[in-house]
Amino acid sequence: MGARHMVGRLGLPEPRALPGALALTLVLAALVGSLAAWAGWQTAEPLPSDEQAVAAAARAVPDQAGYELRRRDALFVYDYAGDGGVERAVRAVVGDDDYVPGYVEVTLPDRGNGPAGGWGRLAANFRADGWTVDRLPYSDDLVATRDDQVATVTSEVRYDDAGEAQGRSHDDLVIRVHRTEPASVPWLTAAGALLGAVVGWLLAGWGYRRMRSRGPAARKAALLSRAGLLLLLPVTLVVLIEMVRVPLLSGVQLPQPAWDPYMLVFLRVPALLGAVALLAAAALLAGPDRAAARVSVR
């Protein structure tokens, strides 16, 4: 059985179409896998209430004098998207590197070393409250997990408006509680990626056959599809690598969505442009063959 016959049976009539077909297969695998992961995240448990978060912080640092509270209830959100509509619109198009899991945050001013006894005492207090405590990779920050919650504990430097010019600062203790990833997410991600790969392969075969039966529209569609795949390939490779890498990580990890690379600056704009180019190519191929129609009329 020749190579052409084998490829044709899989949906592509010519071996020379394989590079484009493989690229589209990867693009759809990453995209559909990410959509499936997003669907799985919809089953995540809600964040703790303000009262629950403050109570957990009080058990970790019993001698606190006060606190500041902040929360982001969305599953994932740009943390500093601003309140203006224009700023949010720009962020939605351009992307940014502060796309984070939703959280409820308790800040304890001037408690950067935790309770009396320092970070060791702080970790012991978390363990006594039923948390499993570890260190974040490449960091001195604590990370703790319990049931469907994962918390990070960090020390952050804050400057007062008056003290900034004089170099005076405060070490605040920041306790941030996130949701944990639902157990169904890895399985849905894998199933979605496999489904996307199959759909991508079949669409590539359909597109190639349509191009062979088109005139000028085929050339335009070919240029658009090549440009779209080239623009989408970088973010696609990052998504697929992360889909494989993240489940293999050991220890307690912060939740990281499969679609995170699509939200990042430098990757989001090319991805959006690539998607528009592929949709335009598909529209050209799906439409009627006007050149053939003119010939038939004559």
Domain ranges of the chain: 3-40+184-297, 45-179
Considering only CA atoms, which of 138, 170, 177 is closest in space to residue 156?
170
pLDDT at 60 over 60: yes
| pLDDT score recorded for residue 9 | 53
pLDDT band at 197, cuts 50/70/90? very high
| pLDDT score recorded for residue 290 | 56
Q: What does each C-alpha distance from 130 to 33, 244, 248 come to in angstroms?
A: 34, 31, 25
11-20, 36-45, 161-170, 253-262: which has the highest mean pLDDT?
A: 36-45
- At position 177, the amino acid (one-letter code) is V
| pLDDT score recorded for residue 287 | 75
| Cβ count within 10 A of residue 110 | 13
| pLDDT score recorded for residue 297 | 41
**Least-confidence region, from 41-50, 97-106, 136-145:** 136-145
- Spatial neighbors of 81 by CB under 8 A, at least 6 apart, are 87, 88, 91, 96
**Neighbour order of strands in the sheet with 142-146:** 68-78, 99-108, 169-179, 149-159, 142-146, 132-135
pLDDT band at 82, cuts 50/70/90? low
| pLDDT score recorded for residue 200 | 94
* pLDDT tens-digit map of 212-234: 776 778 889 999 999 999 999 99
Q: Which residue has better confidence, 162 or 282?
A: 282
Q: Which residue has better confidence, 289 or 79?
A: 79
pLDDT at 54 over 80: yes
| pLDDT score recorded for residue 211 | 82
| pLDDT score recorded for residue 253 | 76
Q: What is the mean pLDDT of residues 147-176?
A: 74
| pLDDT score recorded for residue 279 | 95
pLDDT at 15 over 50: yes
pLDDT band at 6, cuts 50/70/90? low
